[in-house]
Structure 1
Protein backbone atom coordinates (compact mmCIF):
# COMPACT_ATOMS: atom_id res chain seq x y z
CA UNK A 1 0.00 0.00 0.00
CA UNK A 2 2.83 2.41 0.75
CA UNK A 3 4.27 1.76 -2.73
CA UNK A 4 1.10 3.18 -4.24
CA UNK A 5 1.83 6.61 -2.81
CA UNK A 6 5.51 6.51 -3.71
CA UNK A 7 4.70 7.47 -7.30
CA UNK A 8 5.18 11.19 -7.89
CA UNK A 9 2.16 11.28 -10.24
CA UNK A 10 -0.18 10.88 -7.26
CA UNK A 11 1.50 13.73 -5.42
CA UNK A 12 1.53 15.87 -8.55
CA UNK A 13 -2.15 15.18 -9.18
CA UNK A 14 -3.00 16.07 -5.59
CA UNK A 15 -0.99 19.27 -5.79
CA UNK A 16 -2.56 20.04 -9.17
CA UNK A 17 -6.06 19.63 -7.80
CA UNK A 18 -5.32 21.83 -4.80
CA UNK A 19 -3.53 24.55 -6.73
CA UNK A 20 -6.05 24.42 -9.57
CA UNK A 21 -8.95 24.81 -7.16
CA UNK A 22 -7.31 27.79 -5.45
CA UNK A 23 -6.45 29.38 -8.79
CA UNK A 24 -10.00 28.77 -9.99
CA UNK A 25 -11.49 30.37 -6.89
CA UNK A 26 -9.34 33.46 -7.41
CA UNK A 27 -10.08 33.48 -11.13
CA UNK A 28 -13.85 33.42 -10.70
CA UNK A 29 -13.81 35.78 -7.73
CA UNK A 30 -12.00 38.34 -9.85
CA UNK A 31 -14.36 37.61 -12.73
CA UNK A 32 -17.24 38.79 -10.54
CA UNK A 33 -15.25 41.89 -9.65
CA UNK A 34 -14.49 42.37 -13.34
CA UNK A 35 -18.20 42.35 -14.19
CA UNK A 36 -18.88 44.97 -11.50
CA UNK A 37 -16.13 47.19 -12.90
CA UNK A 38 -17.50 46.94 -16.43
CA UNK A 39 -21.04 47.72 -15.30
CA UNK A 40 -19.81 50.79 -13.40
CA UNK A 41 -18.18 52.12 -16.54
CA UNK A 42 -14.60 51.54 -15.42
CA UNK A 43 -13.53 49.77 -18.59
CA UNK A 44 -9.81 50.53 -18.22
CA UNK A 45 -9.56 48.96 -14.79
CA UNK A 46 -11.76 46.06 -15.90
CA UNK A 47 -9.54 45.32 -18.91
CA UNK A 48 -6.41 45.44 -16.78
CA UNK A 49 -7.99 43.09 -14.25
CA UNK A 50 -9.11 40.80 -17.09
CA UNK A 51 -5.56 40.60 -18.43
CA UNK A 52 -4.12 39.95 -14.98
CA UNK A 53 -6.75 37.31 -14.19
CA UNK A 54 -6.12 35.38 -17.39
CA UNK A 55 -2.33 35.67 -17.09
CA UNK A 56 -2.30 34.30 -13.54
CA UNK A 57 -4.60 31.39 -14.40
CA UNK A 58 -2.57 30.53 -17.50
CA UNK A 59 0.69 30.76 -15.54
CA UNK A 60 -0.61 28.37 -12.90
CA UNK A 61 -1.72 25.85 -15.53
CA UNK A 62 1.60 26.15 -17.38
CA UNK A 63 3.50 25.56 -14.13
CA UNK A 64 1.35 22.49 -13.48
CA UNK A 65 2.00 21.26 -17.02
CA UNK A 66 5.71 21.27 -16.26
CA UNK A 67 4.97 18.73 -13.50
CA UNK A 68 3.24 16.44 -15.97
CA UNK A 69 -0.07 15.46 -17.46
CA UNK A 70 -1.58 14.27 -14.18
CA UNK A 71 -0.87 17.61 -12.51
CA UNK A 72 -2.28 19.80 -15.29
CA UNK A 73 -5.37 17.63 -15.74
CA UNK A 74 -6.03 17.66 -12.01
CA UNK A 75 -5.48 21.43 -12.03
CA UNK A 76 -8.05 21.84 -14.79
CA UNK A 77 -10.49 19.73 -12.80
CA UNK A 78 -9.81 21.98 -9.82
CA UNK A 79 -10.63 25.06 -11.89
CA UNK A 80 -13.89 23.45 -13.00
CA UNK A 81 -14.76 22.53 -9.41
CA UNK A 82 -14.12 26.12 -8.35
CA UNK A 83 -16.35 27.30 -11.18
CA UNK A 84 -19.19 25.10 -10.03
CA UNK A 85 -18.77 26.24 -6.44
CA UNK A 86 -18.74 29.92 -7.40
CA UNK A 87 -21.80 29.52 -9.67
CA UNK A 88 -23.75 27.87 -6.85
CA UNK A 89 -22.63 30.59 -4.47
CA UNK A 90 -23.74 33.35 -6.86
CA UNK A 91 -27.12 31.71 -7.46
CA UNK A 92 -27.71 31.23 -3.74
CA UNK A 93 -28.15 27.46 -4.06
CA UNK A 94 -27.48 25.27 -1.00
Structure 2
Protein backbone atom coordinates (compact mmCIF):
# COMPACT_ATOMS: atom_id res chain seq x y z
CA UNK A 1 0.00 0.00 0.00
CA UNK A 2 1.35 3.43 -0.90
CA UNK A 3 1.05 6.26 1.55
CA UNK A 4 1.18 9.88 0.53
CA UNK A 5 2.47 12.31 3.10
CA UNK A 6 1.27 15.86 2.89
CA UNK A 7 3.73 18.27 4.41
CA UNK A 8 1.88 21.24 5.77
CA UNK A 9 3.78 24.43 6.41
CA UNK A 10 4.48 24.59 10.13
CA UNK A 11 3.93 27.87 11.94
CA UNK A 12 6.96 29.59 13.40
CA UNK A 13 7.07 28.71 17.08
CA UNK A 14 8.66 31.11 19.50
CA UNK A 15 9.49 30.14 23.05
CA UNK A 16 10.01 32.28 26.12
CA UNK A 17 13.14 30.27 27.16
CA UNK A 18 15.74 28.33 25.14
CA UNK A 19 16.76 24.76 25.90
CA UNK A 20 19.85 24.91 28.10
CA UNK A 21 18.98 28.34 29.48
CA UNK A 22 19.31 29.01 33.22
CA UNK A 23 16.05 30.05 34.88
CA UNK A 24 14.62 30.41 38.37
CA UNK A 25 11.18 30.64 39.94
CA UNK A 26 9.75 34.14 40.08
CA UNK A 27 8.65 33.88 43.75
CA UNK A 28 11.40 31.80 45.38
CA UNK A 29 14.96 30.67 44.81
CA UNK A 30 15.01 27.71 42.42
CA UNK A 31 18.00 27.96 40.05
CA UNK A 32 17.35 25.48 37.25
CA UNK A 33 18.32 24.45 33.75
CA UNK A 34 15.69 24.19 30.98
CA UNK A 35 15.74 20.57 29.78
CA UNK A 36 12.53 20.40 27.74
CA UNK A 37 9.41 22.28 26.80
CA UNK A 38 5.91 21.64 25.50
CA UNK A 39 2.97 23.78 24.53
CA UNK A 40 -0.52 22.88 25.70
CA UNK A 41 -3.52 22.87 23.36
CA UNK A 42 -4.43 26.23 24.89
CA UNK A 43 -1.02 27.61 23.92
CA UNK A 44 0.55 27.78 27.40
CA UNK A 45 4.22 26.86 27.68
CA UNK A 46 5.34 24.22 30.18
CA UNK A 47 9.04 23.74 30.84
CA UNK A 48 10.83 20.69 32.14
CA UNK A 49 13.61 21.96 34.39
CA UNK A 50 16.43 20.34 36.36
CA UNK A 51 16.95 22.02 39.72
CA UNK A 52 20.49 23.12 40.54
CA UNK A 53 19.77 24.00 44.16
CA UNK A 54 22.42 23.03 46.72
CA UNK A 55 19.92 20.75 48.47
CA UNK A 56 16.84 19.54 46.61
CA UNK A 57 15.16 16.13 47.03
CA UNK A 58 13.17 16.63 43.80
CA UNK A 59 15.53 17.69 40.98
CA UNK A 60 13.15 17.41 37.99
CA UNK A 61 10.02 19.52 37.68
CA UNK A 62 7.47 20.70 35.13
CA UNK A 63 6.73 24.42 35.58
CA UNK A 64 4.53 26.88 33.69
CA UNK A 65 6.47 29.57 31.83
CA UNK A 66 4.57 32.29 33.72
CA UNK A 67 6.31 31.15 36.93
CA UNK A 68 9.86 31.31 35.53
CA UNK A 69 12.35 34.13 34.97
CA UNK A 70 15.72 34.08 33.24
CA UNK A 71 18.81 34.18 35.47
CA UNK A 72 21.32 36.88 34.57
CA UNK A 73 24.90 36.60 35.86
CA UNK A 74 24.11 38.99 38.71
CA UNK A 75 20.88 37.29 39.81
CA UNK A 76 20.78 36.68 43.61
CA UNK A 77 19.63 33.05 43.18
CA UNK A 78 23.13 32.05 42.03
CA UNK A 79 24.06 31.99 45.72
CA UNK A 80 21.81 28.90 46.16
CA UNK A 81 23.09 27.17 43.02
CA UNK A 82 25.51 24.25 42.64
CA UNK A 83 27.20 26.21 39.83
CA UNK A 84 28.68 29.68 39.62
CA UNK A 85 27.67 32.03 36.77
CA UNK A 86 31.18 31.65 35.31
CA UNK A 87 31.00 27.84 35.21
CA UNK A 88 27.42 27.95 33.91
CA UNK A 89 28.33 30.31 31.06
CA UNK A 90 31.09 27.94 29.92
CA UNK A 91 28.52 25.10 29.68
CA UNK A 92 26.04 26.95 27.44
CA UNK A 93 26.47 26.12 23.78
User: Normalized against structure 1, the TM-score is what?
Assistant: 0.28
Max Rg structure: 2
Greater helix proportion: 1
Higher relative contact order (CA 8 A, sep 6+): 1
Greater strand proportion: 2
